[in-house]
Chain A
Amino acid sequence: GNSVTQMEGPVTLSEEAFLTINCTYTATGYPSLFWYVQYPGEGLQLLLKATKADDKGSNKGFEATYRKETTSFHLEKGSVQVSDSAVYFCALSDLSQGGKLIFGQGTELSVKP
């Protein structure tokens, strides 16, 4: 079945450091891929998305490119801020199951001043 695997956290960085959170997926067909962010005590917010191979999603300085050849959708940001501290979830939409989202296990990011 379809699945998503993220790098384990927690990830601790200093402010202005470069961020990479790895995400790989297994899927039949051509799912859309998403990164969601969850701040403490809140629901999930969409950070960015890509709906087909080679698409690059970007938002608030974060980027991720849909790589079909490596089945990856790694999240990157050139310079993180303390306010980026949150849990990040990689997800794919399972079109064979009505568009149900399949989530990775989440990666907690902590950015220190």
Chain B
Amino acid sequence: GAVVSQHPSRVICKSGTSVKIECRSLDFQATTMFWYRQFPKQSLMLMATSNEGSKATYEQGVEKDKFLINHASLTLSTLTVTSAHPEDSSFYICSARDIAEPLNTEAFFGQGTRLTVV
């Protein structure tokens, strides 16, 4: 199956610093990638839809200046958490859909990034 690689898997940063998370589709191209946030024992909350070559589409209530998304190529999207605070600590997951497949097919998920802000 298609592989999505997310890096890093764990990161600890100091409050006020920025953290970048990468999401790569390894064996397919993706015009669209999705970024989710997951709190303990809860479902995935879609944060934004990342579109290759254009601006990301953010869900209501998500601060676009805080969660910067860049989708510079068909295989890479990045999420940067700027000026991180302890409340940003969470599990972040990306997913991607193969550009060659119809929209009603599955999305493939990265392994997630555990962010801890101290």
Contact = CB atoms under 8 A, between A and B. Distances in A.
Contacts of B93: 43-44
Nearest to A42: B111
B105 interface: yes
Nearest to B2: A46
Nearest to B91: A41
28 contacts: A32-B104, A32-B105, A34-B106, A41-B114, A42-B112, A43-B4, A43-B6, A43-B109, A43-B111, A44-B44, A44-B93, A44-B109, A46-B108, A49-B106, A51-B104, A51-B105, A93-B104, A93-B105, A99-B32, A99-B104, A99-B107, A100-B34, A100-B49, A101-B95, A101-B107, A103-B44, A105-B42, A106-B42
Interface residues of B, number: 25
Interface of B: 1, 4, 6, 32, 34, 41-44, 46, 49, 93, 95, 97, 103-112, 114
A57 B106 CA distance: 13
